A and B are shown apart, each in its own frame.
Chain A
């Protein structure tokens, strides 16, 4: 460390031009950068890309050139890692006490949190497109190498629904992370959710009905098969309200009121 005295050249109390508040897009850029400027962030991003590509390639080799089946495999990795990405994004500032600096720089906490949520949601879309690209390439190559006809069964609607489902799992992670402000707790809830609903669904008719309306993984499934009925839509809406909208609202309220220490 250099110990020499540095001449002070600061400008004292010079007035700052009006309109110095950070525009929203600047906050989004800062929050996007925070996702990849630490080693742990980079590892998670690499894992997301690596697991997606690896699972698509492996499945393609095993089942042959069937595009939709190959693409669907990527959903397993994405379904696990994307909620974690969402959770870590919104809990990191509390874990690492960086909220002290972040909310001193921008006291409008609601804007910061909104800016924080956008990059992971965009990442879910990007990861879905990456999986699609990998699935198309694998399908073409496997068909070419094995001299068998490729099955192109990915309709635009299916792709849209599948991407939407991936966005929903990130949103669930963001919502639970914001509500609980604690990464391990939120991850446990995310992981335990499907197990719990499996048990609830076996608790007689009322349990089955409950799981049918509140198990987000189950209600989002028709999205990816593009055969959504009105009833499916209603069930999806209810589970999204329960797992995403409500915890997000409660979490935002908590963050805005919370004492930052």
Chain B
């Protein structure tokens, strides 16, 4: 459902992405794993058209995101946890999204329930939200249109252990009902817990991909990760 086809992205002097190819199928949770600055966010932004690939193409449902009919109904996205106006309430941020998508207001309550934000919390301005609450708000926003594909940039950042368990349950459930989930992470443990496939990137290149078992071959993911990313960390800003 998601396909990266030889995607490269060159900023003035830095190659942020270098010939990245991988696919994410229905019913799976794929973790896009790599150190900070490996190009994960850039790749996800290119997929949704917020950034432009220098060469290659990234498609969802076989087309460029922007060319889909009602893309946000089909693909739920979450980017930085600061992507919500600090002076707006969480509920209002979701209401704007629901309005844009032409959804009834009760959908806002439904997604709030799905991510476990209480009604009282939803009426507070985002400025006062903890990082974990912002992540839940972001996931709620991504779920608004009942998408078949989810693209989440570092959804596990700032979640406490209960939050991680909740996220794992939510994403697992979505994948089991046929969703394709692509999430980025620099947290090995999180990827190992949540994902069934991993794409490891470093210095903008795909270093390895496959199921957890294929990649690890009896080692811990941590060993695998450090073997793969040796010398590839902190490559680009």
Contacts and interface: CB of A to CB of B under 8 A. Distances in A.
B173 interface: yes
A37 B177 contact: no
B114 A8 contact: yes
A145 interface: no
B99 A30 contact: yes
B75 to A, nearest CB: 8
Given A3-B162, A97-B80, A98-B83, A10 B174 contact: yes
Contact of A96 (B70, B85, B179): B85
A251 B81 CA distance: 27
Interface stretch (B29-37, B141-149, B191-199, B225-233): B141-149
Interface string B130-170: 00110010000101011011000000000000110110011
B51 A13 contact: no
Interface in A80-107: 92, 96-98, 100-101, 103-107
Interface residue tally on B, bucketed by range: 35 or more
B174 A8 contact: yes
Nearest to B180: A13
A26 B102 CA distance: 8
B45 to A, nearest CB: 7
B97 A19 contact: no
A108 interface: yes
Given A98-B83, A101-B84, A101-B97, A14 B50 contact: no
Interface of B: 1, 26, 45, 48-52, 65-66, 69-74, 77, 79-80, 82-88, 92-93, 96-97, 99-102, 113-118, 121, 125, 132-133, 136, 141, 143, 145-146, 148-149, 162-163, 165-166, 169-170, 173-174, 177-180
13 contacts: A1-B132, A1-B136, A6-B114, A10-B173, A11-B146, A13-B180, A30-B100, A34-B96, A100-B50, A101-B84, A259-B51, A259-B52, A260-B45
